[in-house]
A and B are shown apart, each in its own frame.
Chain A
């Protein structure tokens, strides 16, 4: 009965490779997010989709491309991985009601290590 799930949980790869992280939520939420938590533990939003439409696109390199095939899924593809991409990536989801904020539920995170 996992609410927000991510795969893989751990990802170790070489510089220059391309990788994807998948996220799925079964909560019926209409908004999904990608966050990055770096080694200093700052949690920073990268992207947000509402009903499959991109609504938040923070200043991240073009190498990062989110894709939302439907409201329950938000994937993150990263091209040409760099050492600085090493971090924990969290997916989250929430329900919007009348434009107001509602609690965000986070997935377990994907720990990416670029060698």
Chain B
């Protein structure tokens, strides 16, 4: 079983739509959680960290459910520029410094 599982999509939504992605992780002792964004043929970039109490950054809301071992990302009022692949990332507790486990990503296309 992979450390991090994501629905690869693709998700195709119109501008202005609200879209949500989930991912699950296998290691219950996981410590840190992130969403990265990767544009086509580009490098991954940190979108936001995910905190236990949930956190929001503009149109983006991240939630963590430790009991069910899943992480979610909600995007409100989708923009064309949100089209990208969204990578769920987890760091296990006690892991070697800097070790990240990436999901395979969920592809989002926002159409006009």
Report A's interface with B, CB cutoff 8 A.
31, 33, 40-45, 48, 50, 55-56, 90, 94, 96, 99, 101, 103-104, 106-109
How many inter-chain contacts with C-beta < 8 Å in the A-B complex?
Answer: 51
Which of the candidate stretches B15-23, B43-51, B63-71 sits at the interface with the other chain?
B43-51
Give the dominant DSSP class at B's interface.
Answer: loop
* Distance (whole angstroms) from the CB of B84 to the closest CB of chain A: 12
Contacts of B46 in A (CB 8 A): 103-104
* Distance (whole angstroms) from the CB of A5 to the closest CB of chain B: 11
The 8 closest A-B pairs by CB, nearest first: A106-B43, A43-B102, A103-B46, A42-B104, A56-B96, A41-B104, A106-B44, A31-B98
Contacts of A42 in B (CB 8 A): 102, 104
Number of chain B residues close to chain A: CB under 8 A: 19
Contacts of A48 in B (CB 8 A): 96-99
Interface: B73 (CB within 8 A): no
